[in-house]
Structure 1
Amino acid sequence: MQIDQFLKRGAYHPTFCEDFSLVQPLEPHKLVLAVMDGCTMGQESHFAATLLAKILRKVLKEWPYRAIYDPDLQHLSLQRELQALLAALFTDVQQLKNQLLLSTAELLATLVLALLDTRTGEVAVLALGDATVAINGQLTRFEQDNRPDYLAYHLGQPFETWYNRQQQRLHHTMCVDLALATDGIDSFQPLVPTEGLPDVPTYLLLDQRRTGQPEVLNRKVRQLEKEFSLVPTDDVAILRVQLA
């Protein structure tokens, strides 16, 4: 199994990177992956993306202990387990919002969350906001007209009510190549006029060249800049896992 991560501040964001990513085992054969994108129009949006990742990491660390006291958590389908993880995240964000007296504007961040069974290849994905997901060479784009329906907008309502309205879901039973990316994947622009530009999402999320080499995504992004003067103008976070 090869796991590649890439995170870069966009050229139009001179101070902070507003994206974040997380990869963490849930069990010996399960992996949780997530990319977050803070809302530029929000308040301290780099904080929102990072905070969401930290809360998710807390949920994942607590999960084995929760399962001891709630045996039902040990027998969930992958899709239901993803829902349960998100429910725990939702509750913790609600509580932290109240404890820290945070405004909604301080919590605006998109979230793409995937639960991957590395033994069977089954994967469940939920995208909350704009994002691109690739599974086995197939790109899926989730677009909300650059006006994401952030999780933070719905913290005042029951989780189930909100979750049942979510449509941006994917499920695959034989995944061998999975990639998640924030919408910054579409922001690459040439610094100087350049012809013959490659398709960046295809190159970074689907292309199989250099598989097995360390820092593949970093190498490819450097190549894009060197050969085509292409750089991301928006912050971008990418995760890619190849099982075979």
Structure 2
Amino acid sequence: MQIYQLLQRGAYHADFCEDFSVVQPLGAHHLLLAVLDGCTMGRESHFASTLMAKVLRKVVKERAYRQFYGDLPTAPLETELRGIIAAVFEEVRQLKSQLHLETTELLTTLVVALLDTHSRQVVVLALGDATVALNGQLTRFEQDNRPDYLAYHLHRPFAEWYDQQQQMLHAPDCTDLGLATDGIDSFAPTDTAAVEVDVPDVPAYLLLDQELAGRDEMLTIKVRRLEKTFGLVPTDDVAILRVRFA
């Protein structure tokens, strides 16, 4: 199994990258992957995505410790993911109160996958806009550029909110998985771009194409190639994670 990561600030964001990514093991055979995109129209959106990522990592680490010591039984992936999101939901709700945060300071998308690296089963949940590649198929989750952020629902019972989520994917045998924030659709020509006829499909090139699969820095190389060969750069921040089984 090989993991590829990319986090790049967009050309239109001069100060901060508003995206974030998480790769965190959970026990011997489970792996959590997530990409997050802070809302540009929110307050200090880089803080929102970073905070949510740190909370997610904390929750997964704590569950791993509890499973190791026998305090928490290992559950099916769907149940495990639900438990993780429930814990994140409660942690963020408490932090909102403790830090006196406004809802606009917590607006970030969250696209999370829980993968069994032994059986290769995977479950994916997209809370907001995202592009997910699973076994050679691209799935776009779009909410008309108005994501229904988790932070909007902290006042609600968790189960009531979670049971309404429909942006989910499952696969019993994952061979190739990719998660990307919506910055993957923001690649545009620079002012000095050379004219090229055959400009690649950027999401397919970064999430599906197998060229350079033997290189850990595959995504970085491809993004540089997009700029140097086609004059394409991301105008929005972009976070990408890919997992490939040999």
* Category of TM-score, reference length = shorter chain: over 0.9
Q: Which residue of 2 aligns with 1:16?
A: 16
Q: Distance in 1 between matches of 2:126 and 2:73?
A: 24
Match of 1:148, SS state, is coil
Q: Which residue of 1 aligns with 2:207?
A: 205
Flag structure 2 segments of 5+ consecutive residues without an equivalent. Answer: none
How much does 1:65 deviate?
Answer: 3.5
TM-score, normalization: structure 2? 0.96
Q: Which residue of 1 aligns with 2:139?
A: 140
Determine whether 1:39 maps to 2:39. Answer: yes
Q: Distance in 2 between matches of 1:101 and 1:12?
A: 30
Match of 1:23, SS state, is strand
Quick one: which amino acid aligns to residue 21 of structure 1? S
Match of 1:91, SS state, is helix
* Correspondence 1:29-178 to 2 at 5 A: 29-67=29-67, 73-178=72-177
Q: Which residue of 1 aligns with 2:240?
A: 238
Q: Distance in 2 between matches of 1:170 and 1:60?
A: 20
Q: Which residue of 2 aligns with 1:220?
A: 222
Q: Percent identity?
A: 66
How much does 1:75 deviate?
Answer: 4.1
Flag structure 1 segments of 5+ consecutive residues without an equivalent. Answer: none
How much does 1:29 deviate?
Answer: 1.1
Match of 1:58, SS state, is helix
How much does 1:12 deviate?
Answer: 0.9
Aligned residues: 243
Match of 1:74, SS state, is coil
Asked whether the 8 Å contact 2:27–2:67 carries over to 1, the reply is no
How much does 1:176 deviate?
Answer: 1.1
TM-score, normalization: structure 1? 0.97
Match of 2:55, SS state, is helix
Asked whether the 8 Å contact 2:2–2:216 carries over to 1, the reply is no
Shift in alpha-carbon separation, 1:213–1:137, aligned structure 2, 3 A: same
Runs of 4 or more, structure 1, over 4 Å off, are 68-71
Quick one: which amino acid aligns to residue 26 of structure 1? L
